[in-house]
Structure 1
Amino acid sequence: MRFLCIITLGSVALTSSGQAVPSFGLGFYNNETVQDRRTSLDLTPEAAFAFHGGSVDLSFDFSFLPGHTNFFGYILRLIKNNTQNIDLLYDKVNLAVGHFRMVAGDNPPFATFTLDSGHLFNTWNTLHLTIDAGQDRLTLRMGKEVFVQNGLHLSSKDSFRICFGACPVPPFKTTDVAPMKIRDIRITKGRDLLYYWPLNEEKGATAVETLAGKNGLVVNPLWLRSTHYEWKPLDSLVIDGAASCAFDSRDGVLYLVGRDSLTLYNLSSGTRQALPYASGRQDLHVGNQSVFDAFNRKLYNIFPDQQIAAAFDLTSLRWDAKYKPGDINFWHVNKFCSVLDSSIYVLNGYGHMRYRNSVFRYHIPTHSWESVIPGGDSVVPRYLAAAGATDRADTLYLIGGYGSASGQQILSPHNLYDLMRFDVRTRTFKRLHELSPSADGFAFANSLVIDQKNRCFYGLTFNNGKYYTSLQMIKASLDAPGDQAVGDQIPYPFHDIESFADLYYSPSANRFLAVVLFTDSTTTRPLHTWVHLYSLDGPPEPYIAETAPVASPHNHNWYIWTALIVLVTGAAFYRYRRRPARLQLEAPVPRPAPAPFTPVLVTTAPVTGAAIFLFGEMQVFDREGNDLTRQFSPLVKQLFLLILLYSLKNNRGVSSEKLNEILWFDKDEKSARNNRSVNIAKLKALLDKTGGCNLGKETGYWKIDIDVQMVRIDYLEYLAIVQNREAVDKGAIEALATITHRGSLLSDVEYPWLDPFKSDVSNHVIDTYLHFARHNPADPEFMIRLADYIFYFDAVNEDAMIIKCRALAQLGKHSLARNTYAAFQKEYKHLYGQDFERDFHSVLQQ
């Protein structure tokens, strides 16, 4: 009770202090998407509104979404008596009186106005449309401007359909949609508020009307509240070679530098373009980084080991420099361009068991490098730090990382949390303050986004002590300690030098861009780099798992309800963790012999149809490729996984008794049955959207039957490979590696009943890799990659270490072989508390 009082009072304090309600509203997918994906809001899906005379006012707030190129389209369409349309639209014709037009039927526009870019994109604008049947008059008010249309033959018997964006009402259907956002739709009659749609939902196809229950229907919604805390996956692709990235914040273009071509990704339009190099192949070293000089509009690829900054000409598609074979001493450096002295600065890094605090300066006009000896406060040698420069790049902020005072990896390395400021004019560092560490510790993605106006910064943090980790954005002050987590988490496979993450911001689109890179090998010439892109609308908000509905724009009691929900959920979770683990796996039913394995080409292309992914974080997509995952509540999610995994493992399913024992162990038989029925119905409704999953109980066991022609499921692809171990070839091994690169089985959840499934997957994957290695040892390059695949599941697998060391030795890379052996020794001693008994030479001779 004491804890409850503290939380409740804290919630009231937040409310009374005027904390801002998270951004909300409905965004519209516009003409830049295909017709079937554009947004429509129909306030009258069941019947038209009849107002029975008098003066009725329709008002709403609207703004445009920045970063688009095509703004033409409908904002509002009223349909009178199903015979006449009244439209508010934005016309791309360059009219002197403005782009916004209000048109009644085929009449000339009776209202035309314009909004400057500041109002159009950065503020909410309230528009009023008054229908006065008594005066036969239509009045539009926009700010201080008033427009009137007479002679429309308005009557007290008129009825109106009301649609925003795409209009689904025949014969007045439209698909031209402006890239807008709206909220707070009100219909008033005199002083009486008849209907109110706040548009503060986070998901779903219903626009809740809070006064009379006249809910609207939304097609293809873009709920703005979720876009401020929910990272949106944008694209996944594979780049040849050891790729690196840079960002042009002015134009919102991401540059992905590969071995044979440059890939451009436009954040606003979501399009990408590959530009093959006219200068020939660029053999990029691992550890290379790219930077975009926003002042001179130039792209550079930098490699401090060889003191090279290769410039790329976007017109001729040529690099002006190439790398030579060589060693790598500077992984995960930080970098920025400064207009003050026309230079690129490169800081920190790691290589050969040493952390660096070096500062290099590349002077662009003279193409010369120098080592800078900074003054002021000393910087602890580190890598995995984040850095961000001010708009003029006269000041750099550097935070966190992992390192040690001596610079040696062997001597007390630890996470760092200090914020440093580097002054370009004086070339001095100043220590400002320090963030509080978390229990597990954290490092940073490469860049910070600096908000000078609000004296704060944004960065991505992650637990660098785990492979299956996540990126979490934080917001922190430039002037005082303290930080706040904002947004949800992004999956991040962190394998030290093979992984790289970065954060950018586009002011024109008001969106953050997160980039995750993962190379497929620790060799000096990786074959591929996996790239995953995510975006988040600004300003970012703290992640909200479940939000109580807001009844009116002045009701802030949801803070209190959220606190109470957190308390109750915590108690339930505590009780769940305390209960005994009583589950025993049922004996598997013999399965028919699997068909001969055909290698499956698993790609990272965007999902276009129904799919279920169980490796990494669970994801479910409907038949149109829409992500359903967030529609699974925690209970429905566990119910789904229970039935699905038992269905796939033993081809039988799971009994009702077993479901009760696991999910409703604290309820009597009647309550458990009722809860089971309700959640089974919810699960069926979700699975129906895939078009190929059937949940039933024909044999007395709950079972999910999957039509593999309709629904792709990575777990079945995994089973097809590991159950045909004798027939596995190189293509099958690549396919298996692609599946597991998402992560281990259901890495985002921990259930006691799930542990045997996870253990089986790890054992089968490792056994399949080792079986292939014993029978196909001829290709040393592939053996190195295969050993790394095993290490993802077992960091101290002796067989994998032997395979990798021997393969490296065959290629003449003896120092890399010895480094692999030394790293294994260290990890083995850390895990088992004793030395690994075999020496390096005996490993090579086996």
Structure 2
Amino acid sequence: MIWQLVRNIIPYFAFSFSLILMLVRPAECKEIDYGLYIKSYPEIDSKKTSLVLNANDPISLGRELRLSFDMFVRKDNAFGVVFRLITDNDDHIDLLFTAGQNNERYPILVVNEEVHPVSREIAFGKWINVSVGLSKTGNQVSLVFDGKELSVPFGLAKASSARIAFGRCPFESFEMADIASVNIRDVKLFRNQALAYYWKLKEHNGDRALDSLNHAEAVATNPVWMLDMYATWEKVYSKKVQNNSLFAFNGSDKFYIVQPDTNKILVFDPARHAEHELAVLHGCMASNAPNQIYYDALTDELITYNIDENRYSTFSFHTRSWSSDQKGTKDPGYLNNSSVFSARDSAVFSFGGYGYYSYNNDLIRMSPHGNGFETITLSSIPPRYFSATAMMGNSLYIFAGRGNPSGRQELSPRNYYDLYSVTIPGYKVTKLWEETSVPSDFLPGENMIVDTENRAFYVLTTQVSGGRLIRITPDKQGFDTVSFPIEEDLEGLYLYTNLYYSSSQSALYALICKKKSQTETEVSIYSMNFPPISLSSIHQTVRNGQQRKFSLSHYLMLAAAVCGVSLLVWRYRRRRTHKPHDLRSSPHPAINTLQQPEPLEIGLADTHHEFSKSAICFLGGFAVIDREGNDISGQFTPTLKYLLILLILHSRKDIKGLAGRKMINFLWPDKSEESAKNNRNVYLSKLRAIADQLGQFEVQSTNETWSIKLNDVRCDYTEILDLFDRLKSGNPSDKTAIYRLLALLQRGELLPAVETDWIDPFKSEFSSTTVELLTKLLHSSPYVDNDDIRLAIADILFIHDPVNEEALHLKCSILFNSGRKGIAKHVYDNFCRDYQQLLGIAFSHSLTDIVD
């Protein structure tokens, strides 16, 4: 009798232990790793990583300079340079890795051409400290590598500063492309034994990281910031599967895909990226709906359940058989239910679901090794399906879903964004909060991952561009976004999503299964480092009271600049008796090498083209200003900048936007399709993250086509195109529109520093439209005698056509006849010089011909 009791109790413990492993993460978790992952071989040279300290500005040596950093050596290519230091005397000091006779790897210190080996083999897979000291008073260079010290004599008396680069060295005449596969962080510079710079390399702004003392920039090329790995999803698996497949995870390293009408189970190992099949020798599963399955870790079994028929079927990996021969016969009444395990009750609780054109609010207690099925209706929660559930303590938490109070599908179902707790046992329901306003609708995955330490839940959602991870808490209403978008296409006839945690891999896994058609279903699995972090914590900001410190030389330069500007202003006021209104408010004013336009003198206040906040500027140079008025252009890497430009240009040209295939051809033509799509998804995620700083700025995607909706963000380029359309279709003499247009065009050329094949047609069309419209305007009767307007038009014509003879005639005539003959001669001489350089022939008309 005692033995029978033990036999009955053991399965309860097995069941409890396995479900705890899968659905609740331990309170203790792996510390978040950070630093810069330096890409080396097998990447091509142009894709390798470099990091230049202090934005390539010289760093003063003082009497003694010491560079200290932490380094993690990877095995993929432990050969080549770690960092290179170049003094203003053109001496170079390098730390490199070299190979021994038996292919073991050793560090070497290289001072100019002298090699100094370090008698310590490199340790892989752990963080070590490295420091290099330059002493001018001691005339020596010293190295401490993982506790091993080395000093070599070297005269530094003539050197006063240095430049430092990690990874690929970009310094002219000192380039190095053989670089070691390392991660670096906590880079510190001590001058005269005092800490002068500290780049933690944790938070960052695009390709730049700021030091915590002076906010000096460390500029990276092709960076991989390790912190981003805790917010970026990576696809690890994708496969076409049978309709109505079921998915289970063992809480560690295996996904099981059970295909109901086959005699096989697919097994995928995400850690090794390996897949194999298991033959099913006997029996069948009990489920009559997708996802009604879980894995029992202690007994190493898969258990399927059928709520409609109150039964189970267990798959044994030992016998490779199901315990039941009976297939489900009833139509499913609990599609997209959410089930979770209660350790206290040794039972699985299922909530909600859909069937027979109805949603339900049933809470079903299931005990596979005990009392079968028990149903409790939670009447205070509106019927729904697609909810997410989790157990924490003695409470079941239910988040979100789709349904309505009546439960009837035909009566306007809607999405819910609320959180409930249900005590187990007792079934007391408490509504904790409800979010009534969300930027875009979403549905959660089946299970939430519990953070017991912080009393929080991680939820996979269909929010924004293929899914994002959010964090919610019982005590505070709202969501915190903790991942970049997955960028998975979620459109289909049926969708199932779930979130899993692997303690052995310290990773989260997102599973997405979608039925694309009646004959095609696909499952994808993505992974992300654990624990995830809020996107807001990645961005590095300057705190109040921590503005950059200035040295004496900075103050002297500033004083000299102020004096120079004051002198120019004094001379300017002596020449002119009044000051015109300056309509150019851009932080990047237009500069034309031939003629720089003077501000247009008009009587209107400049209220239409103020670009000091929430603005994207293309005229005169690329600039992005956030909603607080900060210039955040530096956060845009070249690729990210090109992506933004492409989307704005194509969204204005075609309301549908830019096709995904064209985007790849423009930006990643040399990559494979999969690699290009991954790059596209990453950069779109980065763009969306930066967009939050701008205003109500949206990156939208529909059917593999991307577009931008600027909303309250202003763009000088789109405003000019609107004015073009207004003047062409409406009154060509609209004075207000013309003044606005001229003031905007005076800002300069369209994206002068961007030179790619795909932008040439846009520049050409923009310049042609500008020249055509302004030339017509010159001969319009209201402006024939308005010299201010005509001079402004001449200057703008020169921006788009530096050898425009009509602009030359116009400007020189006005200047000459108004008594400014010297300025007219200067304009003429510059034109003749540029005419000769561009066309290869001399300009045939004299200044007299022009002004007559």
Q: What is the TM-score when the length of structure 1 is the normalising length?
A: 0.53
CA distance in 1, matches of 2:45, 2:164: 20
1:64-113 Cα offsets, whole Å, 9 max, x none, are: 9xxxx96995898245788885358999x9x9xxxx98665674545999
Deviation at 1:446, TM superposition (A): 1.6
The answer as to whether partners of 2:283 and 2:323 remain within 8 angstroms in 1 is no
Superposition pairs of residues 722-801 of structure 1, within 5 angstroms:
none
1:566 to 616, 627, 631: 627
Q: Determine helix, strand or coil for the equivalent of 1:152.
A: strand
Structure 1 match to 2:372: 370
Partner of 1:357: 361
Conservation of the 8 A alpha-carbon contact between 1:486 and 1:541: yes
Q: What's the counterpart of residue 639 of structure 2?
A: none
1:438 has 2:503 as partner: no
Structure-2 residue corresponding to 1:401? 401
Displacement of 1:58 in angstroms is 1.3
Matched residue pairs, number? 589
Against the structure 1 CA distance between its residues 162 and 245, is the aligned structure 2 distance closer, same or farther, given a 3 Å change threshold? farther
CA deviation map 1:542-591 (0-9, x unaligned): 4699x68649995699xx9999933679xxxxxxxxxxxxx99999xxxx
Identity %: 17
CA distance in 1, matches of 2:58, 2:320: 60
Partner of 1:696: 761
Q: Among residues 497, 502, 510, which one is paired with 2:498 in the alignment?
A: 502
Structure 1 residues 419 and 46: alpha-carbon distance in aligned structure 2, compared to 1, 3 A threshold: closer
Equivalent residue for 1:385? Answer: 387
Residue-by-residue CA offset, 1:625-674 (whole Å, 9 max, x unaligned): 23254687989999999xx999xxxxxxx999857647998984445446
Alpha-carbon distance between aligned partners in 2 of 1:216 and 1:418, rounded to the nearest angstrom = 44
Match of 2:248 in 1: 246
The answer (yes or no) to whether the contact 1:203–1:223 under 8 Å persists in 2 is no
- Opposite residue 187 of structure 1, the aligned amino acid is L
Q: Is the 8 A contact 2:41 2:179 kept in 1?
A: no
* 1:690-724 deviations in Å (ceiling 9; x for gaps): xxx57436985799xxxxxxxxxxxxxxxxxxxxx
2:477 aligned with 1:477? no
Q: Distance in 2 between matches of 1:136 and 1:645?
A: 58
State the SS of the aligned residue for 2:224. Answer: strand
Equivalent residue, structure 2, for 1:58: 67
Q: Per-residue displacement from partner, 1:110-162 (whole Å, max 9, x unpaired)? A: 599999x9xx6xxxx976544446274635498xxxx3524433442689885
What secondary structure sits across from 2:153 in the alignment? coil
**Cα deviations across residues 318-355 of structure 1 (Å, max 9, x unaligned)?**
66657445412111111234555655443321111222
What is the alpha-carbon distance in structure 2 between the residues aligned to residue 52 and residue 85 of structure 1?
16
Question: 8 Å contact 2:201–2:209 — kept in the other structure?
Answer: yes
- The residue aligned with 1:77 is 82
Q: SS of 1:388's equivalent? A: strand
In 2: Cα distance, 1:678 partner to 1:511 partner: 46
Shift of 1:27: 3.6
Query: Are 1:31 and 1:70, in contact at CA under 8 Å, matched by a contact in 2?
Result: no
Cα–Cα, structure 1 residues 699 and 138, in superposed 2: closer, same or farther, change >3 Å? Answer: closer
> Partner letter of residue 613 of structure 1?
G
- Equivalent AA in structure 1 for residue 761 of structure 2: G
Post-superposition shift, 1:623?
2.6
Alignment root-mean-square deviation, CA: 6.2
Q: Give the aligned partner of residue 11 of structure 1.
A: none
Task: Please name the residue that 2:294 is paired with.
Answer: 291
Q: Does structure 1 residue 454 correspond to structure 2 residue 454?
A: yes
**Aligned-partner Cα distance in 2 for 1:321–1:274:** 24
**Residue identity in the other structure for 1:333:** N
Which residue in 2 is equivalent to 1:520?
Answer: 516
1:384 partner amino acid: F
Measure the CA separation in 2 of the matches of 1:151 and 1:401.
Answer: 66
How far is 1:490 from its partner? 4.9
Check the 8 A contact 1:434/1:481 in 2, yes or no.
Answer: yes
Residues 294 and 566 (structure 1), Cα distance of their counterparts in 2 relative to 1, 3 Å cut: farther
Query: Contact 1:474–1:485 at 8 Å: present in 2 too?
Result: yes
Distance change (3 Å), C-alpha of 1:529 and 1:422: same
Match of 2:340 among 336, 358, 373: 336
Q: Which amino acid aligns with 1:328?
A: P
Q: Does 1:529 align with 2:522?
A: yes
Whole-angstrom CA distance in 2 between matches of 1:492 and 1:294: 30
Give the secondary structure class of the aligned counterpart of 2:277: strand
Partner-residue secondary structure (3-state), 2:626: helix
Change (3 A) 1:209 1:666: farther
> Structure 1's 655 and 554: CA in aligned 2 closer, same or farther, altered over 3 A?
closer
Query: Is it true that 1:189 corresponds to 2:191 in the alignment?
Result: yes
The DSSP-based 3-state class of the residue aligned with 1:566 is: coil
Quote the residue 2:577 is aligned against.
none
Distance 1:694 1:501, change over 3 A: same
The 2-side partners of 1:404 and 1:302 are apart by 27
The Cα shift of 1:459 comes to 1.9
Summarize deviations over 1:258-294 as a string: whole Å, max 9, x none. Answer: 466655555566x352536454998986533443445
445-454 or 219-228, which deviates more: 219-228
Aligned: 1:541 with 2:534: yes
Which secondary structure does the structure 2 equivalent of 1:696 belong to? Answer: helix
> What is the match of residue 613 of structure 1?
660
* Residue 613 of structure 1, CA deviation: 1.1
Question: Which residue type is aligned with residue 696 of structure 1?
Answer: P
Tell me, which stretches of 5 or more residues in structure 1 are unaligned? 1-22, 570-582, 588-610, 647-653, 704-846
Whole-Å separation in 2 of the counterparts to 1:667 and 1:544: 44
Matches within 5 A, 1:23-102: 26-28=35-37, 40-43=49-52, 54-60=63-69, 73=78, 77-78=82-83, 86=95
Measured after TM superposition, the shift of residue 451 of structure 1 is 0.8
Distance (Å, rounded) in 2 between the aligned partners of 1:585 and 1:380 = 44
Q: Contact (CA 8 Å) 1:375, 1:429: kept in 2 or not?
A: no
CA distance in structure 2 between the partners assigned to 1:190 and 1:585 by the alignment:
56
Q: In structure 2, give the amino acid aligned to 1:41.
A: S
Q: 1:80 to 1:363 in 2, by over 3 A?
A: same
- Closer/same/farther in 2, CA of residues 149 and 132 from structure 1, 3 Å limit: farther
What is the correspondence of 1:225-304 to structure 2 with a 5 Å cutoff? Answer: 226-227=228-229, 236-251=238-253, 253-258=254-259, 271-275=273-277, 277-279=279-281, 287-296=290-299, 298-304=301-307
Distance change (3 Å), C-alpha of 1:614 and 1:697: closer
Match of 1:153 in 2: 153
How much does 1:385 deviate?
0.9
Structure 2 distance, partners of 1:267, 1:562, is: 43
User: Which AA in structure 2 matches 1:370?
Assistant: G
Is the partner of 1:287 in helix, strand or coil? coil
- Counterpart-to-counterpart distance in 2, 1:423 and 1:101: 61
**Conservation of the 8 A alpha-carbon contact between 1:502 and 1:516:** yes
TM-score relative to the length of structure 2: 0.53
Does the CA contact (< 8 Å) of 1:386 and 1:445 recur in 2? yes
Q: 1:49 to 1:484 in 2, by over 3 A?
A: closer
Q: Cα 1:585–1:326, aligned 2, differ >3 Å: closer, same or farther?
A: same
Answer with 1 or 2: which has the greater Rg: 2
Is the Cα–Cα contact under 8 Å of residues 106 and 117 in structure 2 kept in the other structure?
no
CA contact (8 A) 1:298 1:311 kept: yes
8 Å Cα contact 1:242/1:527 also seen in 2: no
The 10-residue stretch of structure 1 (238-247 or 673-682) with the greater mean CA deviation from structure 2:
673-682
Gaps of 5+ in 2: 1-31, 110-114, 550-611, 616-624, 631-649, 708-716, 728-736, 769-852
1-side partners of 2:471 and 2:700: how far apart? 36
Alpha carbons 2:310, 2:373 under 8 Å: kept: no
Task: Trace 1:602-681 onto structure 2 (pairs within 5 A).
Answer: 612-613=659-660, 621-624=668-671, 625=676, 626-627=679-680, 628-629=683-684, 658=721, 661=724, 668-673=740-745, 677-679=749-751
Contact preservation (8 Å) 1:136, 1:154: yes
Indicate the SS of the match to 2:152.
Answer: coil
